[in-house]
Amino acid sequence: MAFDIDMIKKVYANFGSRVEAARKVVGRPLTLSEKILYAHLWDGNPTKAFSRGSDYVDFAPDRVAMQDATAQMALLQFMQAGRPKVAVPSSVHCDHLITAKEGAAIDLPHARTESKEVFDFLSSVSNKYGIGFWKPGAGIIHQVVLENYAFPGGMMIGTDSHTVNAGGLGMVAIGVGGADACDVMAGLPWELKFPKLIGVKLTGKLNGWTSAKDVILKVAGILTVKGGTGAIVEYFGDGATSMSCTGKGTICNMGAEVGATTSTFGYDDSMERYLRATGREEVADLANGIREHLTGDSEVYADPEKYFDQLIEINLDELEPYLNGPFTPDLATPISKMREEAERNGWPLKIEVGLIGSCTNSSYEDISRAVSVARQVSAKGLKTKAQYCINPGSEQIRYTIERDGFLDVLDNIGATVFTNACGPCIGMWDRVGAEKQEKNTIVHSFNRNFAKRADGNPNTYAFVGSPELVTAMAIAGDLGFNPITDTLTNEQGEQVKLDPPAGDELPTRGFAVEDAGYQAPAADGSSVEVIVSPTSHRLQLLDPFAAWEGTDLKGLKLLIKAKGKCTTDHISMAGPWLKFRGHLDNISNNMLIGAVNYFNDKTDTVKNQLTGEYGPVPATQRDYKASGLGSIVVGDENYGEGSSREHAAMEPRHLGVRAVLVKSFARIHETNLKKQGMLALTFADKDDYDKIHEDDVIDIIGLTEFAPDRSLTLVLNHADGSSEQISVNHSYNAQQIEWFKAGGALNIIRKQAAANA
C-alpha cells in the first residue's frame, strides 16, 4: 500500500516545471540535490539562485517522521501550537524505548509495560492530530520509512539524525530537532541554510566481502566527523546504479556520521524494484513518468568538478572491507591493516560480541548476506567464538526472514534475536557485566561507536562494519581476523576458509507480514483527549521559556569548559535516560554529565563558583538558577555532533544556561540552540578558547544591537581582578534573532496561533 499517494502525485505534478524554472534562474545544469531543493521552495516556483553555504532558504517539506524518544518533546511543543491537525503527513515510530536484554519475546512485553504511559500518550496525541502511529515492535523508524513512506524526489524532515537514510530512495531527508518538526507540522516554512554539495563518484562494482557499508566507512575516513557539515553528499556513477536500494540507504544513513545535511542517490532501476517489492507500484509508475528529473543532469555527472564544491572518487572494484573505530566512526581501518593497528594501539583483540541490524543495516539483503556466512559454521565444522545478536529492522523484515528460514540459521549459531527496535545501537542494551567496566571489544553493523554508546561501559571498544563482516568476526572471535586471506581452525582441527557472502537484494517470494504494527489516526480527532498527569515522572507539559530581557547579559558564570569531543551523547545521554525524554526537568539531571571538564579531566565534576566546591554539572547549574544567575558553556570543535536530540539544547535552556560558546558546531545542534532561544556563539579566534579560566565571570556585550553578520564581544572577568575582551561570531539571521528575543521560536508560533484564533 502506498501512503499519502495524493501528496506524492501533487509533488510530481509540479516537479518538472519547477526544475525547469530552477535551471533557468541558476543558468546551468543541476545536480539532483539542487533539483529537489528548488522544487520544494516555500514560495513555489524558483525565481532566484541561492548561494550555497550562505543563503538561508524557506522550504516546504512533504512529510515529518518522529521516533518515540524525540516525538515526546516535539509533540508536547506541537500541542501548544494551536492547530487541530498536522499540516503535512506525519508519523511516530516506537523504536527507542525498548531495552535489549533477554530477547524479543521477553523484552518487548516488558517495554510495553514499563513505558505504557509514554506509548499511550504518543498513541493518543497521534490519534488526535492526524499522525500515523507505529506501535512498539513495528520496527526501527528509518527502515519503516524506507519501506512505506520514502519516495524519489521528495523532501522529508525527521526528529532523528539518521532520517537521512531515506536518501537511499532518492529523497532529500534531513534530521532536525523537535522545534523544526513542530514548525512544519504547524504549517510553517522550514528554514535551512542552502547546502554546499559534495559529489562522490562511484565506479566499478562491489564484490566479494565488500559491501555498501564499506563505501561510507571509507568516506567517513576521508571527510572525518565534521567534513560534511553544511553539505549534501550526492552519489553518482555506474557504481551507484549497480547497488541495491537498501545498500544506498546504508550509505546515506551513515552520512550523519560525517556531519552531512543529508546524502542522496538518483532514481534508478534498483529503487523501482524496491518500490514495487514493498507494494508501491503506483509510486514507481509516477516516478518513471518524471524519471529524467529525479537524477542529476547528465552534464553534471560528465564533468562533476564544475558543479560540486568537493569531489571524491571511489573505485568499488578496489575497495576492501573496513572496520571503523574505536570511539569515533571516522577512524577507518581496512581489514587488511586491522591486526597491525590493533596491536599498535593496544585494542583488545578478543571479540566478545558481534551485533547486526540497526537502522543502518537491517534490510533483507543485509541479513541474507550475514546468514550466508552464518551457514558456514555448521557446514565447515566451526563454532562461533563470540556472542551474536540481531535487531531486525522491521516486523516485515523479521516475518519474512523467519519465513525464509534465516532465523533458524542464526539460532543454530546461538544468536539472540532482539526486538525490531534500536536496542544496543542507542545504548538500550542491558548488557550483563557492563557495570564492571572491563576493557573489551565488540563489533557491530551500527553507525555510531562513541564511548559508552552501546552498553554504558567507557572501556568497550566498539568497531563498525558490515553485517557480513561482523558475522565473520564473531565466528572468529578475533579483531585481527581477515576473512579474505585468513583461515580458521574447525572442531576437527582442520584449516578452513570462509566463502565470500552472497545474498538476495529482495526476497524471491516477496515480502510478507501478518501485522506490521500500524495504527491509523482518527478521521476526526477533536474528541480525543490527551492526558498528561501532573505527577508523572515520564511526561511533563511545557511552560514557555522567558523572553530576552532586552539588555546585554552580564555576570554569567562559567559552568563548564568542555574538552575535546562533546557529542549530544555527552550533553544529554541516552540509554537509561531515555525514559525521561518527555519530562524536561527530570531529564535535565543528565545535562553535560558526559562532558570532560578541561580543568580537571573529569566528567560531571565542575567548580561551583558560589561555594568553591566541586560537584555534578546539573546540580551546580541548578544552584546558579536558584540564585538568579545565568551561565555559559564553552566547548571545542564540532560541538553537538551526533544525534538530533533537542534535549541537548532544551536542558541547558531550562536550567538557565544563556549561551554556548565553541570553536565550531554540528549543524543540527546549532539550530536546536537557536530554536530554543539560546545564544550559539563561536570564537572569532579559536585560540581564545585557551583564555577561558575556571573562575571566569563573563559578560556578553552587543546584544542590544544584535544583528546578522555583526560580531559580539565577551568580557572575561578573571578571579584575579583582571579582565580581557574577545570577539565572538554567530550565524543568526534576522528571523533567528527574533527567536532569541522572543525566548524561543515556539513562543512566536504560539503568539501567531492566538492571534488567528
Per the structure, the complete domain to which residue 113 belongs is given by 5-317
**Same domain membership, residue 435 and residue 292:** no
pLDDT at site 129: 97
Mean pLDDT of 674-689: 97
C-alpha cell belonging to residue 707: 544583528
Question: Catalytic: 303?
Answer: no
C-alpha cell belonging to residue 396: 516485515
Residue type, 91: S
Distance between CA atoms of residues 600 and 279, nearest Å: 57
Residue type, 364: Y
**Same domain membership, residue 647 and residue 751:** yes
In a domain, 367, yes or no: yes
pLDDT at site 485: 98
In a domain, 122, yes or no: yes
pLDDT over threshold 70, residue 82: yes
Query: Catalytic one among 83, 93, 162, 645?
Result: 645
Are 163 and 275 within 8 A, CB to CB? no
Mean pLDDT of 372-393: 97
DSSP secondary structure of 395-460: HHHHHHHHHTTHHHHHHHTT-EE--SS-GGGGT-B--TTGGG---EEEEESSS---TTTTTS-TTE
Rounded alpha-carbon distances, angstroms, from residue 725 to 312, 559, 701: 42, 19, 10
Could you count the other beta carbons within 10 Å of the beta carbon of residue 19? Answer: 23
C-alpha cell belonging to residue 281: 507500484
pLDDT over threshold 80, residue 293: yes
pLDDT at site 337: 98
**Same domain membership, residue 382 and residue 457:** yes
In a domain, 302, yes or no: yes
**Same domain membership, residue 184 and residue 49:** yes
Q: For all residues of the chain together, what is the average pLDDT?
A: 96
643: confidence class by pLDDT, cuts 50, 70, 90? confident
**Same domain membership, residue 683 and residue 612:** yes
**Same domain membership, residue 167 and residue 267:** yes
The dihedral sign for the CA sequence 685, 688, 690, 692: negative
When divided into structural domains, the chain yields a total of 3
* Phi, psi (rounded to 5 degrees) for 310: -150, 145
Question: Catalytic: 368?
Answer: no
496 sits in which H/E element: strand 495-496
Q: Of 749, 733, 747, give the one whose Cα is nearest residue 671.
A: 733
Distance between CA atoms of residues 217 and 255, nearest Å: 9
Q: Choose from 69-78, 262-271, 636-645 the range with maximum mean pLDDT.
A: 262-271
Rounded alpha-carbon distances, angstroms, from residue 620 to 604, 613, 616, 699, 717: 10, 9, 6, 19, 20
pLDDT at site 80: 83
Mean pLDDT of 130-149: 98
* CATH code of the domain covering residue 134: 3.30.499.10
Mean pLDDT of 570-590: 92
Please enumerate in sequence order all residues whose Cβ is within 8 A of that of 614, keeping only pairs 6 or more positions apart, or say none.
600, 605, 606, 607, 608
Question: Catalytic: 96?
Answer: yes
159-204 pLDDT tens trace: 999 999 999 999 999 999 888 999 999 999 999 999 999 999 999 9
710-746 pLDDT tens trace: 999 999 999 999 999 999 999 999 999 999 999 998 8
Residue type, 58: D
In a domain, 546, yes or no: no
Mean pLDDT of 552-563: 98
**Same domain membership, residue 750 and residue 651:** yes
70: confidence class by pLDDT, cuts 50, 70, 90? very high
Report the percent of the chain where pLDDT is more than 70: 100
51-69 pLDDT tens trace: 999 999 999 999 999 999 9
Give the full edge-to-edge strand order of the sheet including 155-158.
Answer: 172-175, 155-158, 63-67, 90-93, 132-134, 518-519
581-616 pLDDT tens trace: 999 999 999 999 999 999 999 999 999 999 999 999
Distance between CA atoms of residues 33 and 35, nearest Å: 5
DSSP code, position 501: P
Q: Which residues, in sequence order, are bridge partners of residue 77?
A: none
Report the percent of the chain where pLDDT is more than 90: 94
Tell how strand 553-561 and strand 606-607 pair up.
unpaired
- CB contact burial 660-675 (16+ within 10 A = b; e otherwise): bbbbbbbbbbbbbbbb
In a domain, 637, yes or no: yes
Domain boundary among 466, 485, 504: 485
Question: Catalytic: 643?
Answer: yes
pLDDT at site 373: 98
114-127 pLDDT tens trace: 999 999 999 999 99
Query: Catalytic one among 160, 404, 604, 636?
Result: 160
Query: Catalytic one among 96, 444, 581, 658?
Result: 96
Query: Catalytic one among 95, 455, 636, 696?
Result: 95
Mean pLDDT of 613-631: 98
Query: Catalytic one among 643, 667, 696, 750?
Result: 643
**Same domain membership, residue 353 and residue 296:** no
**Same domain membership, residue 140 and residue 60:** yes
pLDDT over threshold 80, residue 644: no
447-480 pLDDT tens trace: 999 999 999 999 999 999 999 999 999 999 999 9
Domain boundary among 287, 317, 347: 317
Domain boundary among 317, 332, 351: 317
* Phi, psi (rounded to 5 degrees) for 715: -105, 120
pLDDT over threshold 80, residue 416: yes
Cα-only R_g, the chain: 25
**Same domain membership, residue 205 and residue 148:** yes
Angle at 664 between CA 660 and CA 668, to 5 degrees: 75
Give the CA count within 13 Å in the CB-facing half-sphere of 645. Answer: 29
Query: Catalytic one among 448, 453, 581, 653?
Result: 448
Question: Catalytic: 448?
Answer: yes
Alpha helices (H) in 189-330, listed in sequence order: 212-223, 238-241, 245-253, 269-277, 281-289, 298-302
Mean pLDDT of 242-250: 98
* CATH code of the domain covering residue 561: 3.20.19.10
In a domain, 166, yes or no: yes
pLDDT at site 429: 96
Question: Catalytic: 375?
Answer: no
pTM value?
0.91
In a domain, 141, yes or no: yes
**Same domain membership, residue 369 and residue 239:** no
pLDDT at site 757: 62
First to last CA, the chain: 37
**Same domain membership, residue 339 and residue 247:** no
pLDDT over threshold 90, residue 551: yes
In a domain, 499, yes or no: no
Q: Which residues, in sequence order, are bridge partners of residue 614?
A: 607
Q: Of 728, 683, 720, give the one whose Cα is nearest residue 703.
A: 728
Are 668 and 175 within 8 A, CB to CB? yes
